[in-house]
Structure formats: structure tokens, C-alpha cells
Amino acid sequence: MAAARSFAPAVPRAVIASLFDEAMIPGLPGQGFCRACRLLETDEFSSVFAFRRSLRGRFYTLYYRPNELSTARLGVTVAKKLVKRANGRNLVKRIVREVFRRQRENLPACDLVIRLHAPTKAARRAELNMDIKQLLGRLPGNRVCAAAGTVV
């Protein structure tokens, strides 16, 4: 008869949670993707689309609008028409969020919505990453935000 094995975690859960909690605070220079860095409400997405400023890449379209906050916020949309399966849509969203999370400190205080506009069936992850990085690099800095009346 085999004995049941029990594995204890190498680090207590309280220590793991405290490490991640500090990285998620918006005021700290962490690279987390906290709730304050996300567009959550339909009205927030609508206001970015209504501002009518966009940049277009090979796979993505980046819509942007200056905000009054101290950091950039992100929303991602992937249509079922372009990526049929949920796991593919989730992969595309994860790629966008990861690139944004790493670039967030260098971005101006703007609300960003990234929308997929081309099928990604034949695309590699590196191509998707590069497209997002190029779009974020082309994002107008303080000049556009200041012209819109927000202080950066």
C-alpha cells in the first residue's frame, strides 16, 4: 500500500503574498499590473474611442487618450471574428499585458486601448510582441498630453 505524500510549500503563503502586494501598489516603481493600471468600465473604453486618436500597426490598433492620473492604464479587446478560440484570444491579451507591464513606467499618463485588427493565425509571438512595442514607442509623449490640457 502506498503512503500518501504531502508537499509543504518552500515559502509560506504570507511571505509570497507580501512580496507581490508591494509590487502592485501604483505609487511604487514596481512592474506589476495592478487594478489601478487597467481600464475596467465600458465608459472608460468609450471615452478612449471617442477621443479618436489612434496608431495602427501590423496586427494591432492603439487608441489613446490623456488622463489625469500619474500612470498609463490599459484595456485590450480581441474580437471572436479574428481569433475563434478562447485560448487564442487569452494568449493575445496576455502578450499585450506583459509588454505594457514592462513599458508602463516609460509611457505618458494616457488611457490606452489596444484592439486586434488582423488575424494572428500565422503570426509568431515575437512578431506580436514587436508590433506592440513599436506602437507604444510611437505613442506621443508629453507634447500630445500637454496639448490636450492635462499636466504630465
Q: Would residue 114 count as lying in a domain? A: yes
- How confident is the model at residue 152, as a pLDDT? 39
- How confident is the model at residue 2, as a pLDDT? 61
**Grid cell listed for 83:** 481569433
Are 37 and 67 spatial neighbours (Cβ–Cβ below 8 Å)?
no
CATH code where residue 113 lies? 3.30.230.10
Are 124 and 59 spatial neighbours (Cβ–Cβ below 8 Å)?
no
Q: Would residue 126 count as lying in a domain? A: yes
Q: Would residue 94 count as lying in a domain? A: yes
Query: How far is it, in rounded angstroms, from Cα 75 to Cα 24?
Result: 17
Query: How far is it, in rounded angstroms, from Cα 44 to Cα 68?
Result: 13
- How confident is the model at residue 78, as a pLDDT? 95
Q: Would residue 59 count as lying in a domain? A: yes
Q: Would residue 11 count as lying in a domain? A: no
- How confident is the model at residue 132, as a pLDDT? 94
Whole-model pTM: value is: 0.71
Name every residue whose Cβ is closer than 8 Å to that of residue 130 and which is 6 or more positions away in sequence: none
Domain containing 110 equals 39-146
Are 56 and 21 spatial neighbours (Cβ–Cβ below 8 Å)?
no
Are 33 and 102 spatial neighbours (Cβ–Cβ below 8 Å)?
no
46-59 as b/e: b if 16+ CB within 10 A = eebeebebebebeb
For residue 59, give the 3-state DSSP assignment.
coil
Q: Would residue 4 count as lying in a domain? A: no
Give, for all 152 residues of the chain, the pLDDT tens digit: 566 665 555 555 554 444 444 444 444 455 667 888 899 999 999 999 999 999 999 999 999 999 998 889 999 999 999 999 999 999 999 999 999 999 888 899 999 999 999 998 888 999 999 999 999 999 887 433 333 333 33
